[in-house]
Amino acid sequence: VDMQWVQVLAEGWATPLNGFMREREYLQCLHFDCLLDGGVINLSVPIVLTATHEDKERLDGCTAFALMYEGRRVAILRNPEFFEHRKEERCARQWGTTCKNHPYIK
């Protein structure tokens, strides 16, 4: 679990987000560098929690589950939404390149 994003969300630094982005918010952020629901809110960096295919299969359909870090529960995700990450598109839009040798794309 990326604890930095959990902390950002928990402390309200990503308001109006109440948790990791839903697909609609992710796409708004990716395409427009802002959230459009409820007004225009600048948010150019997607705040998402990636999951492996195995985790998605195991957790899909759960109404809630806990995020663990070093053996402790640090957050509870309620009504999670799983969607395609679109990694190559995200890299192209966020960093302006899809070069696999770019240090931030690895």
Q: Tens of pLDDT along 37-95?
A: 888 999 989 999 989 999 999 999 999 999 999 999 999 999 999 998 888 888 888 87
Domains in the chain with CATH codes: 3-95 (3.10.400.10)
Task: Report which residue type is found at 57.
Answer: E
- 3-state class of 18 per DSSP? coil
pLDDT at 106 exceeding the cut of 80: no
pLDDT for position 91: 82
The CA distance from 6 to 48, in Å, is 10
The CA distance from 76 to 64, in Å, is 7
DSSP assignment, residue 11? Answer: T
- Whether a cis peptide bond, with omega within 30° of 0, leads into 16 is yes
Residue indicated by tokens 């109440």: 18
Tokens of 1: 């679990």
